[in-house]
Amino acid sequence: MGAQNPLGIAIPLATTAMGILPHRDPERALDLSFSLDIPFWPHLPNLSYREDTYVLTVRGMPGTEVDYEGLRILFDEDAFYAVLEDYLSLDPHADLFAVDPGESATYAGFLQRASADHLALRGQFMGPISLCLMVKDGEGKPIIYRDDAREVAIRHVASRVNRHLRDLREINPRSFVWVDEPGLEFLFTGITGYTAERARGDLALFLSLLEGPRGVHLCGNPDWDFLLQSEVDLISLDAYNNRDILIGYGAGIARLLARGGAIAWGAVPTHSELLEAESPRGLADRLRVIWDKLEEEGMERNTTAGNSLLTPATCCLVNPDLTTTVEKAFAMLREVREFLL
C-alpha cells in the first residue's frame, strides 16, 4: 500500500492522535486510543491534575514540586542544588526517568493492551521549552530565564523520552515518542523575553539528545520556519485550522519530507460546531489543498501520503459534550483516510 515511511510504519496515513483526552474514564480512553492504527498513552487532565502532561513530565526533576491544590509546578533553588550533583551522576536510562504505572490512571492498562501486532505504539511528554515556561520559581518567574534550571529541564525531558521509548520498544520495535510544545507559539511574540537565538540553541540541544525519531506536536501557529529549519524528524500539527498558513510554508514542509521527515496531519476538527459542519470527503479535500502546494514544490502525492500520519486536529478538552464529539472525530479519521488514498 505504499513505501515505508521514516517511522518504519508500512502503510500510508496511519491513524494516531495527540494523547490528551477529555475523558474521566480510563478504560473508555484506552478503548479510544486502541481504536486507531497506532495506539497512544492517554493523558486525562480532566480526571485529575496528576494526569496533566506537565505533571507527568516533570516527575523526578531536581528542585520541582507539584502543588496539587494550586494546580501549579514550583521550583525551589535550594532544593535544586541540594540534589543536583546526585541527579547529574545518574545513568540517563535510570529508573527515575521511567514512567511508573502508578503515576498514571491509564499507563498500566496501556501496557497491558499493547503488543507488537500494532503498527506502532506512541508515547508523549511535554517539551522542554513549554515545561520551562510553566514551572515557576518562588517569585513567579518561569525557569526558562534560568540557564541552570533550563538546561537540566532539557536534559530531563530527553531522558524521560529516551527511557519511555526504550520501554515501549521492548513491546513494539516500531514505537516512537513525541513531545508537545504549545509554548513554541508564544516564543516570538515579545511576551516571554526569550530570544529566538537561545530558543534555537535549546531546541537543537534537545533534539541532539533524543535516541529515536525526533517528534514535536503543537496545535497552535508558531514561527514555522523556526521549526522546519530544525533537525526535527516528525511534526504533528493542526492542519485543519492552520491550512491557509501552512500553504505558505509548502516549500519548507516539502524539504522536511524530502530529507526523510514525516508529518502528522491534524485533519479532523474536534470542536463540536466545527465537526458538525464537515464531512469526511470535505475534510479530505481540505487537506488536499495543502498537498497540492507540496506538489508544486516537487513533492509527489504518493511520497507525501507515505510519509504522513493522520490525526484529529486538536485534543479539545472544552466541548460541552466532553467526549462525544472527540470520539466522533476519532471515528471519522478512517473515513477521511479512505478518501485520501
Report residue 63 CA to chain centroid gap: 25
Cα(118)–Cα(40) distance, integer angstroms: 11
Q: What end-to-end distance do the CA atoms of the chain give, in Å? A: 9
Per-residue pLDDT of the chain (341 residues; tens, 9 = 90+): 334 566 788 789 999 999 999 999 999 999 999 999 999 999 999 999 999 999 999 999 999 999 999 999 999 999 999 999 999 999 989 999 999 999 999 999 999 999 999 999 999 999 999 999 999 999 999 999 999 999 999 999 999 999 999 999 999 999 999 999 998 887 766 656 778 888 899 999 999 999 989 999 998 888 898 899 999 999 999 999 999 999 999 999 999 999 889 999 999 999 999 999 999 999 999 999 999 999 999 999 999 999 999 999 999 898 999 999 999 999 999 999 999 98
User: Do 336 and 310 contact (CB within 8 A), yes or no?
Assistant: yes
**CA 215, 220, 221: angle at the middle one, nearest 5?**
100
Q: Which residues pair with 218 in a beta bridge?
A: 237
SS3 179: strand
Beginning with the edge strand found earlier in the chain, give each strand of the sheet holding 234-237 in spatial order.
14-15, 308-312, 262-268, 234-237, 215-218, 176-180, 122-126
Cα(250)–Cα(270) distance, integer angstroms: 25
User: Do 63 and 80 contact (CB within 8 A), yes or no?
Assistant: yes
Within 10 A of 227 (CB to CB), how many other CB atoms are there?
Answer: 19
Cα(194)–Cα(200) distance, integer angstroms: 10
Q: Is residue 102 exposed (0-12), middle (13-18) or buried (19+ Cβ within 10 Å)?
A: exposed
